[in-house]
Amino acid sequence: MRTVLKSWIASANVPGNPFPLQNLPYGVYLAHHGRGHCCVAIGDELVDLTRMEAVGLVDLGQQHRLFADGSLNEFMAAGEPAWRLLRQRLISLLAENGDAGLRVGGALRQDVIRQRAGLTMLMPFKVTEYTDFYAGRRHAENAGAILRGDPSLTPNWLSMPVGYNGRASSVVVSGTDIRRPLGQMKAADADLPVFGPTRQLDFELEIGAVIGVPSPMGQPLTVAAAESMIFGYVLLNDWSARDIQAWEYRPLGPFQGKAFATSISPWIVTREALEPFKVSTPDRERPLLPYLREPGPMLYDICLEVTLAPAGATRATVISRTNYREMYYSAPQMLAHHAIAGCGMRTGDLLGSGTVSGPTEDSFGSLLELSWGTTRPLRLDTGETQCFLEDGDRLTLHGYADGGDYRIGFGDCTGRVLPAPEQGAW
């Protein structure tokens, strides 16, 4: 029988709270003196790891502090033994029948525990590199049907996870406003391109894998070794300018249409928290080469939802519901393929899954699909119809793994669309 973990922090035991004791996701918040502090979410509160380390409540046997610089990178690089040790220590300190040192220590408790409401969340880690994959079969087939009139996959798609290198400098934390990008676009019936704000601003519903342990250049990885390097997962919105992308992507793929913004949720959910929700990738109609074969289940059963609220709206419309288990390739497979030619991987590398789309029209993970290339405008609960994002829209990704009597939540990944910059003399 599965043991139900309860915490002495009452809000962590409330059904539906995204941050029960089984979760303990990591983040960074803006502390009162203006510096980022590493933390863990528990119920409606957070535990300040930077302060816990400073006062000796956390000691992972390292020669230097892991939480002192306002990012999780040092801790992520420490590897699985340190990750397991801290999780065990936190569960001991926060469980209702665990170590009483924090529960009964009034001044200590005040020093390291904060209410999450009203706090500003920062980027949880320093993104060193960002690679976006295209690992959802439904999305790949839908995009082909919309853009080329042909749902057939490219010849390489069933043999390897296809990806491209994105911009680490454009990855931002949830809550950051997104400026509508400028660029070149060319209508199908035009001879030459025009310059201006994108007219087809879109979102992409994705899961991001955060790399903790690095690998040296020239060293290929097995899928199993790749999995052990992954620290955890975030919700990820790879904002896309479809008209800019359509004009630029041949022959080398996405560039400006994808480089302007990628949003992630503020909390990194660990592999250990997601372990009970593992599921297998789908049956293969073409055998994978040996280096990509998984030794066991490596996808996760994560419920995903997207809401859209136009400017001034009093409520948001749910525009998509799907599940991460729809992916064709897992994150460890993506990481193994990334490294197979000798690419060195770094602590803080971020791998986007590609758009998560399900089999039905209400489970598509982008407006390109939901509006079927503008031929089926999306009707919102507020009465508006839209094909792509408008200025003032707030787009939010939600995600959780359902454990029956508890949920492993990611926290929202949200962004509001701002108008394009004023066009200068260029």
pLDDT of residue 264: 98
Indicate if the pLDDT at residue 385 is higher than 50: yes
Whole-number percent of the chain with pLDDT over 70: 99
Buried b (16+ CB within 10 A) or exposed e, 366-404: bbbbbbbbeeeebebeeeeebbbbeeebbbbbbbbbebe
Q: Phi and psi dihedrals of 415, rounded to 5?
A: -155, 145
- Mean pLDDT over residues 75-104, rounded? 92
- Angle made by CA atoms 19, 113, 275, in degrees to the nearest 5: 30
What digits encode the pLDDT tens for the residues 166-204?
999 999 999 999 999 999 999 989 999 999 999 999 999
Can 139 be counted among the known catalytic residues?
Answer: yes
Q: Phi and psi dihedrals of 42, rounded to 5?
A: -145, 115
What digits encode the pLDDT tens for the residues 100-144?
878 877 888 999 999 999 999 999 999 999 999 999 999 999 999
pLDDT band per the 50, 70, 90 thresholds, residue 304: very high
Q: 3-class DSSP state for residue 133? A: strand
pLDDT of residue 104: 77
Whole-number percent of the chain with pLDDT over 90: 89
Of 12 and 249, more confident: 12
- State which amino acid sits at residue 165: N
Residues whose CB is less than 8 angstroms from the CB of residue 281 and which lie 6 or more positions away in sequence, other chains included? 294, 297, 298, 299, 327, 328, 329, 330, 333
- Angle made by CA atoms 160, 166, 167, in degrees to the nearest 5: 160
pTM here? 0.96
pLDDT of residue 2: 47
pLDDT band per the 50, 70, 90 thresholds, residue 3: low
User: In this structure, are residues 409 and 416 in contact, taking their beta carbons and an 8 Å threshold?
Assistant: no
User: In this structure, are residues 3 and 95 in contact, taking their beta carbons and an 8 Å threshold?
Assistant: no
User: In this structure, are residues 358 and 138 in contact, taking their beta carbons and an 8 Å threshold?
Assistant: yes
- Mean pLDDT over residues 281-296, rounded? 96
Of 149 and 317, more confident: 317
| Tokens found for residue 298 | 């490596």
- Mean pLDDT over residues 349-353, rounded? 98
pLDDT band per the 50, 70, 90 thresholds, residue 356: very high
Q: Where in the chain is the domain with CATH 2.30.30.230?
A: 10-122
Catalytic residue among 32, 64, 139, 338: 139
pLDDT of residue 236: 98
The two beta strands, 394-402 and 303-309, are antiparallel
CATH architecture of 130-418: Alpha-Beta Complex (3.90)
Q: How far is CA 373 from the centre of its chain?
A: 25
Indicate if the pLDDT at residue 284 is higher than 70: yes
Q: 3-class DSSP state for residue 182? A: strand
Report the residue count for the chain: 426
Indicate if the pLDDT at residue 1 is higher than 60: no
Rounded mean pLDDT of the chain?
A: 95
CA distance 142 to 320: 15
Q: Where in the chain is the domain with CATH 3.90.850.10?
A: 130-418
pLDDT band per the 50, 70, 90 thresholds, residue 426: low
Indicate if the pLDDT at residue 239 is higher than 60: yes
**Rg for the chain, CA atoms, rounded:** 22
The CATH code for residues 10-122 is: 2.30.30.230
- Angle made by CA atoms 249, 252, 256, in degrees to the nearest 5: 50
- Partners of 195 in the beta sheet? 184
pLDDT of residue 99: 84
Using a 10 angstrom Cβ sphere, with 0-12 exposed, 13-18 middle and 19 or more buried, the burial of residue 167 is: middle
